[in-house]
């Protein structure tokens, strides 16, 4: 496949994508693979075996300094004081003063004065602007904090029931330190030949690793994984996998006008201890007291059709809207995440091309361990 003219940025794995005949698209200013031939086959590959994603467009930030812990306790809705074991990961939202979500992210505790944060590519500029504004703001919690964007790094996610075994086979002793990792932990795997940061995290609902590594080592690592039977997977399958797993996508299921309480992310907000001040706390506290008007739910379409974002959802308690929707390869049905009135219960209709089709409100996720959770 010959590259097309583009102003989009390219990851260190661009040549590997072309060699695998990927269909490349612009995603958040990056030229990325949407699929390598069959999105459906790639989806099943991850659910049943092992696949790898180039996620080098994600933004890695190293946050260091004597005030790093206090600063992050103020910056994030979740509380980094909960993670005191080196390598422990925490999922959190970055909020504005209104309680709206600027971005969702993962932060890793490395030491009291050292954290690693991974944020979304599409929100890079506004995230960095907001974070640096808070470093300089009058609260002084960021006085001794340094923010370093690690654009020298690449990132490969290896996901699926066989992902860890195949990663160990591919990379051998280089990742011995990762073998005993518990879910949502990371480890530095360094030797004379490699410098890998391996996290047992992911965005598919399957087990596996996210590997952060120097950009110059990305191609060799990708080729080693390929030789071990890990197949390349595009962003198309990544989206259907995360939807089946009930994982939010920033810009669709949440944004700066939607709070974590309305996005099904209550568990990512640490209201205790009560004396911890964090950006957006006052707004979320008021919303918690009043009760949010809307909630995020799962939908399964019972009629023929495909659920898509922005379709109207009609319930007995008012209207809502689909935030993410697609055909689910695992369920063999159309599924969605939707924001609906808090009082809405099981039955609803979705307006598709002027017709009202029957759907069922369910509790997500839709799939776990490669299997459907619904009949």
Residue 337 has pLDDT above 70, yes or no: yes
Order across the sheet with 89-95: list the strands: 89-95, 101-111, 114-119, 59-64, 146-149
- Which residues, in sequence order, are CB contacts of 140 under 8 Å at separation 6+? none
Residue that the structure tokens 């993962």 belong to: 106
Same domain for 161 and 51? yes
Structure tokens at 151: 């654009």
Q: What is the mean pLDDT of the chain?
A: 95
Residue where a domain stops, chosen among 209, 224, 243: 243
Helix axes 68-75, 124-136, angle to 10 degrees: 120
**Mean pLDDT on 213-238:** 97
What's the full length of the chain, in residues? 375
Taking the CB of residue 270, how many other CB atoms lie within 10 A of it? 19
- Report the CATH number that the domain containing residue 179 is assigned in CATH: 3.30.1360.120
- Give domain status of residue 160, yes or no: yes
User: How far does the chain reach from its first CA to its final CA, in angstroms?
Assistant: 41
249 in a structural domain? no
- Model confidence at 5: pLDDT above 60: no
Which CATH number does the domain housing residue 333 bear?
2.40.30.110
Residue 295 is inside which H or E element, if any?
strand 294-301
Structure confidence at residue 2 as a pLDDT band (50, 70, 90): very low
pLDDT at 329 over 80: yes
How many domains, in total, are found in the chain?
Answer: 2
Asked if 329 and 217 sit in the same domain, the reply is no
Do 206 and 338 reside in the same domain of the chain? no
**In terms of domains, do 205 and 318 share one?**
no
- Does residue 78 fall inside a structural domain? no
309 shares its domain with 238? no
- Rounded to whole angstroms, the maximal C-alpha distance in the chain is 63
Domain boundary among 219, 243, 267: 243
In a domain, 217, yes or no: yes
Q: Considering the domain boundaries, does residue 91 fall inside one?
A: no
- Residue 200's SS3 state is coil
Give the model's pLDDT for residue 4.
Answer: 47
Specify whether 198 is located in the same domain as 333.
no
Examine residue 195 and state whether it is found in any structural domain, yes or no. yes
Q: Check whether residue 29 and residue 175 sit in a common domain.
A: yes
366, 246 contact by CB (below 8 A) = yes
In a domain, residue 65? The reply is: no
Share of the chain above pLDDT 70, in %: 97
7-21, 108-122, 136-150: least confidently modelled range: 136-150
> What's the pLDDT at 191?
66
Cis peptide upstream of residue 273 (ω within 30 degrees of 0): yes
User: pTM of the full predicted structure?
Assistant: 0.95
User: Mean pLDDT over residues 164-183, rounded?
Assistant: 93
Angle, in degrees to the nearest 10, between helices 163-171 and 218-227: 120
User: Would you give the DSSP letter of residue 250?
Assistant: B
Does residue 280 lie within any of the structural domains?
A: no
Is 135 within 8 Å of 142 (Cβ atoms)? yes
Residues 225 and 344 in one domain: no
Of 188, 242, 192, nearest to 212 (Cα)?
188
- pLDDT at residue 195, as a whole number: 84
Assign 314 a pLDDT band (cuts: 50, 70, 90): very high
Domain of residue 327: give its range.
293-375
Residues 48, 167 share a domain: yes
Distances (CA, A) of 168 to 177, 198, 225: 11, 11, 9
State the average pLDDT over residues 43-64: 98
């Amino acid at each position: 496949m010959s590259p097309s003219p583009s102003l989009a940025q390219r990851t260190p794995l661009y040549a590997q994508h072309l060699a695998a005949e990927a269909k490349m698209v612009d995603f958040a200013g990056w030229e990325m693979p949407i699929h390598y031939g069959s999105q459906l086959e790639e989806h099943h590959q991850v659910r049943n075996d092992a696949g790898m994603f180039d996620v080098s467009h994600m933004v890695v930030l190293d946050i260091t300094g004597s005030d790093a812990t206090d600063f992050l306790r103020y910056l994030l809705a979740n509380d980094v004081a909960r993670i005191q074991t080196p390598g422990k990961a925490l999922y959190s939202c970055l909020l504005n003063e209104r309680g709206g979500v600027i971005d969702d992210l993962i932060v890793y505790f490395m030491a009291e004065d050292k954290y690693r944060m991974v944020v979304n590519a599409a929100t890079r500029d506004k995230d960095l602007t907001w974070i640096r504004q808070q470093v300089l703001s009058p609260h002084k919690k960021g006085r001794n904090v340094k923010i370093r964007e690690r654009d020298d790094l690449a990132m490969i996610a290896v996901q699926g029931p066989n992902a860890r075994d195949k990663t160990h086979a591919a990379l051998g002793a280089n990742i011995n330190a990762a073998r005993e990792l518990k879910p949502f932990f990371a480890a530095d795997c360094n030797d004379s030949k490699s410098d890998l940061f391996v996290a047992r995290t992911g965005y598919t609902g399957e087990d596996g690793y996210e590997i952060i590594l120097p950009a110059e080592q990305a191609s060799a690592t990708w080729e080693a994984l390929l030789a071990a039977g890990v197949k390349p997977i595009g962003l198309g399958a990544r989206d259907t996998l995360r939807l089946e797993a009930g994982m939010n996508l920033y810009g669709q299921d949440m944004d700066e006008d939607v709070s974590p309480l309305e996005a099904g992310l209550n568990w990512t907000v640490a209201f205790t201890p009560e004396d911890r001040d964090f950006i957006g706390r006052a707004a979320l506290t008021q919303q918690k007291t009043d009760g949010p008007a809307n909630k995020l739910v799962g939908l399964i379409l019972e009629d023929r059709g495909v659920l898509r974002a922005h379709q109207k959802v009609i319930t007995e308690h008012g209207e809502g809207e689909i935030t993410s929707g697609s055909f689910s390869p695992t369920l063999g049905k159309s599924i969605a995440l939707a924001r609906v009135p808090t009082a809405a219960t099981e039955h609803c209709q979705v307006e598709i091309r002027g017709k009202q089709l029957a759907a069922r409100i369910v509790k997500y996720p839709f799939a776990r361990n490669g299997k459907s959770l619904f009949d």
